[in-house]
């Protein structure tokens, strides 16, 4: 395999791994839903990683034309992904809830596991846990309802 193919494979594999890692801090496995926002964030990270690696290892990669294509493609992927994350253009009701469930789950995990000592902070954490769990349940029900209506 030539070194450019390895480079692209390394970036793609790393991007997939980064996408998966974004779910490691959810409180429960049943809070994992596909999130376009997380996908676009992983694509942004992969694009930046490609640029950084290309710059740091430019002595390994001598073809200026291919390097330029990788650089421009990475910049384009980064810009498009950033636009999609910031604008939420492709996010509808169900996609929004599927992105919010892991987000809420992170609040549950951190609130449950933080080493809190102040009684007011502990009370706040308990309120957050209760509210986030209730909202997760509500979103799951709405997702099921909306997806069954589409069938």
Per-residue confidence (pLDDT) for residue 59, from 0 to 100: 87
The number of residues making up the chain comes to: 151
φ/ψ region of 115 (left if φ > 0, alpha if ψ in -120 to 50, else beta) reads: beta
- Are the C-beta atoms of 48 and 74 separated by less than 8 Å? yes
Cα atoms in the Cβ-side hemisphere of radius 13 Å centred on 119? 0
Query: Which pLDDT does position 138 carry in this prediction?
Result: 98
The mean pLDDT of 7-30, rounded to a whole number, is 96
Residues 3, 54: Cα–Cα separation, whole Å: 12
Helix then strand then coil, in percent of the chain rounded to 5, is 80, 0, 20
pTM comes to 0.86
Positive/negative CA dihedral, 74, 79, 82, 87:
negative
**125-148 pLDDT, tens digit each:** 999 999 999 999 999 999 999 999
Q: Tens digits of per-residue pLDDT, 16-26?
A: 999 999 999 99
Tell me the percentage of the chain whose pLDDT exceeds 90: 95
Q: What is the pLDDT of residue 151?
A: 72
């Amino acid at each position: 395999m030539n070194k450019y193919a390895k480079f692209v494979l390394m970036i793609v594999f790393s991007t997939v791994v980064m996408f998966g890692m974004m779910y490691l801090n959810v409180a429960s496995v049943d809070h994992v839903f596909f999130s376009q926002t997380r996908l676009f964030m992983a694509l942004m990270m992969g694009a930046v990683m490609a640029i950084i690696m290309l710059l740091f290892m430019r002595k390994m990669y001598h073809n200026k034309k291919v390097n330029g294509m990788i650089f421009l493609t990475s910049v384009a992927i980064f810009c498009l992904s950033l636009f999609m994350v910031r604008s939420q253009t492709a996010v509808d009701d169900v996609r929004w809830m599927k992105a919010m469930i892991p987000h809420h789950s992170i609040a549950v995990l951190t609130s449950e596991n933080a080493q809190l000592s102040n009684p007011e902070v502990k009370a706040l954490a308990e309120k957050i846990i209760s509210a986030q769990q209730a909202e997760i349940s509500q979103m799951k029900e709405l997702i099921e309802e909306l997806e069954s209506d589409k069938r």
